[in-house]
């Protein structure tokens, strides 16, 4: 190839601008993770059925991300090829955030739980439309030497957005005196206003990225050293047929296949935590206190938001040090360490009965989360061809959504029949799976 060039390095400010939209995306994701279960239980969902409602999210992600990646690889407009998807996805996600806590407005048309599942599906599909191109943009715009930094910057912004999103209901209730109890079939006002605020920030941060970031045109991207492809890859890249996705799936790099096992164990653990943390903490900690169960459940839900905010804040801080740690010890060793710390932390929740001491466990979960959000992508990106960065990042999402689907189908049955409807043991099981993920990392050679 003629005129081979080295992809220029970017400043930290440019990388931040490129990833700013992730702050808003993660605010919406945190609001969903911290409040979807309590919203569904408000309308009558049983604890063992919660994971089934959450299936809507990974199923849509499994379908949407490869398709979005496929077409964003092949789309070029005046706005670029990734940015149009950012913008459309952000608008749809903001609409879903406004509708999710207002399920009661639609109960005259359909049962509230069915509407809730539909809102989860709409929200996650929209988030995936927005999120997938952000991962690919790092591979597009950064040289290999900066990709650990790029994904770490994204993790920092993800952590900041998640802290704000997780803490919003608690802050609105405790400091702005917005009512935190809604009664039967009524979502509390502090949760509703939190979702509105999240929608506003999401749109604002996506627009920030759209207006401050440039993209390389396809021909320009091909001119960089290290971005050459085989003849088969070039033919696949030129095809607009969705069947090309299956061909790309067959040709996935060996590193990607091995990372699939790591992702399976890691995201099974995370799904158990997100779905069952609120009922687990309510029964294991708050119901042992004096007071009405409805009030204690509301307090548990708000406190889980605080806990989730803490682990996301820790992940943001830890991500600052990840590039240096990865350069010194290697990406795989650093990721294995993070998963071990996270697994031990989740298991330890079983032996804790104080809300405040639970904060300590979130330190370890935050380290694991920071690593999960950056290290697998940094390990993977160097093995992917440039023209198909988007579709392979989308296919890689399969290894995130598949374990969530498995957990969604069987998690409730495990809680009910194996753990006698005690969700705290689901959190313990998540810790064990995270340790299995750490073992799987050692099979990967950088």
Q: What is the pLDDT of residue 417?
A: 92
Number of other CB atoms surrounding residue 168 within 10 Å: 26
Q: Which CATH architecture has domain 248-445?
A: Up-down Bundle (1.20)
- 296 vs 224, which has greater pLDDT? 296
CA–CA separation, 337 vs 59, rounded Å?
A: 30
Q: What is the pLDDT of residue 82?
A: 86
Domain-by-domain residue ranges, the chain? Answer: 7-224, 248-445
Question: Does the structure show a pLDDT above 90 at 248?
Answer: no
- Tell me the average pLDDT across 125-135: 80
CA–CA separation, 131 vs 307, rounded Å?
A: 24
The 3-state DSSP class for residue 224 equals strand
Q: How far apart are the first and last CA of the chain?
A: 27
- Tell me the average pLDDT across 329-354: 95
How far is C-alpha 370 from the geometric centre of its chain's CA atoms? 11
pLDDT digits (tens, 9 = 90+) for 358-412: 999 999 999 999 999 889 988 887 777 766 766 777 788 788 888 988 988 898 8
Confidence band (pLDDT; 50, 70, 90) for 233? very low
CB-CB contact of 17 with 206 (8 Å) = no
Residue from 100, 130, 126, 128 nearest 20 by CA: 130
Handedness of CA 316, 320, 321, 324 (dihedral sign): positive
- Tell me the average pLDDT across 188-214: 92
Q: What is the pLDDT of residue 386?
A: 64
Note the pTM of the prediction, 2 decimals: 0.72
Q: What is the pLDDT of residue 244?
A: 67
CA–CA separation, 265 vs 258, rounded Å?
A: 12
Query: Is it true that 7-224 and 248-445 share their CATH fold?
Result: yes
Question: Does the structure show a pLDDT above 60 at 252?
Answer: yes
Q: What is the pLDDT of residue 226?
A: 55
Domain 7-224 coded CATH 3.30.70.20: no
CA distance readout (Å), 230 to 123, 193, 233, 341, 405 = 38, 52, 5, 40, 34
Residue from 27, 416, 440, 368 nearest 205 by CA: 27
DSSP annotation of 6 reads P
Question: Does the structure show a pLDDT above 90 at 15?
Answer: yes
Q: What value does the mean pLDDT of the chain take?
A: 84
Q: What is the pLDDT of residue 237?
A: 46
Q: Which of 27-31, 237-241, 332-336, 439-443 has the highest mean pLDDT?
A: 332-336
Q: What is the pLDDT of residue 232?
A: 45
The 3-state DSSP class for residue 368 equals helix
Three-class HEC string of 25-39: HHHHHHHHHHHHHHH
CA–CA separation, 236 vs 230, rounded Å?
A: 10
Question: Does the structure show a pLDDT above 80 at 45?
Answer: no
Q: What is the pLDDT of residue 37?
A: 76
> Percent of the chain scored above 70 by pLDDT?
91
- Tell me the average pLDDT across 157-163: 86
Q: What is the pLDDT of residue 229?
A: 47
- Tell me the average pLDDT across 29-38: 81
pLDDT digits (tens, 9 = 90+) for 63-77: 777 778 777 777 788
Question: Does the structure show a pLDDT above 90 at 219?
Answer: no
The 3-state DSSP class for residue 5 equals strand
Q: Which of 217-226, 253-262, 374-383, 430-439 has the highest mean pLDDT?
A: 430-439
């Amino acid at each position: 190839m003629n005129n081979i060039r080295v992809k220029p390095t970017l400043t930290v400010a440019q990388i931040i601008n490129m990833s700013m939209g992730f702050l808003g995306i993660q605010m919406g994701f945190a609001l969903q993770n911290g409040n979807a279960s309590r919203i569904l239980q408000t309308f009558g969902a049983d604890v063992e059925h919660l994971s089934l409602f959450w299936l809507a999210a990974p199923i849509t992600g499994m379908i949407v991300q490869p398709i979005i990646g496929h077409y964003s690889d092949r789309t070029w407009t005046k706005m670029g090829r990734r940015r149009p998807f950012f913008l459309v996805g952000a608008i749809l996600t903001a609409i879903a955030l406004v509708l999710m806590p207002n399920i009661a407005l639609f109960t005259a048309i359909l049962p509230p739980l069915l509407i809730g599942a539909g809102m989860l599906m709409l929200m996650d599909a929209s988030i995936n439309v927005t999120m997938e191109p952000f991962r690919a943009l790092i591979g597009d715009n950064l040289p290999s030497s900066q990709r650990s930094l790029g994904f770490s910057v994204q993790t920092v912004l993800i952590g900041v957005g998640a802290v704000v999103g997780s803490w919003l209901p608690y802050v609105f209730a405790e400091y702005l005196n917005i009512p935190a109890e809604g009664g039967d079939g009524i979502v509390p006002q502090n949760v509703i206003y939190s979702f509105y605020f999240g929608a506003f920030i999401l749109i604002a941060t996506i627009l920030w990225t759209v207006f401050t970031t440039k993209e390389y045109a396809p021909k320009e991207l091909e001119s960089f050293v290290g971005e050459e492809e085989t003849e088969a890859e070039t033919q696949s890249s030129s095809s607009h047929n969705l069947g090309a996705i299956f061909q790309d799936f067959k040709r996935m790099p060996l590193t990607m296949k091995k990372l699939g096992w790591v992702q399976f164990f890691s995201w099974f653990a995370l799904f158990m935590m997100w779905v069952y943390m609120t009922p687990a903490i309510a029964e294991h900690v708050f119901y042992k206190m004096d007071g009405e169960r409805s009030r204690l459940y509301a307090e548990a839900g708000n406190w889980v938001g605080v806990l989730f905010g803490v682990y996301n804040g820790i992940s943001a801080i830890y991500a600052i040090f990840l590039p240096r740690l990865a350069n010194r010890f290697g990406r795989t060793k650093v990721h294995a360490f993070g998963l071990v710390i996270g697994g031990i932390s989740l298991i330890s929740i079983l032996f804790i009965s104080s809300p405040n001491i639970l904060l300590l466990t979130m330190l370890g979960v935050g380290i694991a989360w920071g690593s999960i959000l950056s290290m697998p992508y940094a390990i993977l990106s160097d093995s992917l061809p440039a023209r198909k960065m988007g579709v392979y990042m989308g296919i890689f999402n399969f290894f995130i959504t598949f374990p969530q689907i498995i957990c969604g189908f069987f998690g409730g049955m495990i809680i009910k029949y194996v753990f006698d409807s005690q969700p705290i043991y689901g959190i313990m099981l998540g810790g064990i799976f995270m340790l299995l993920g750490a073992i799987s990392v050692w099979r990967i050679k950088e």
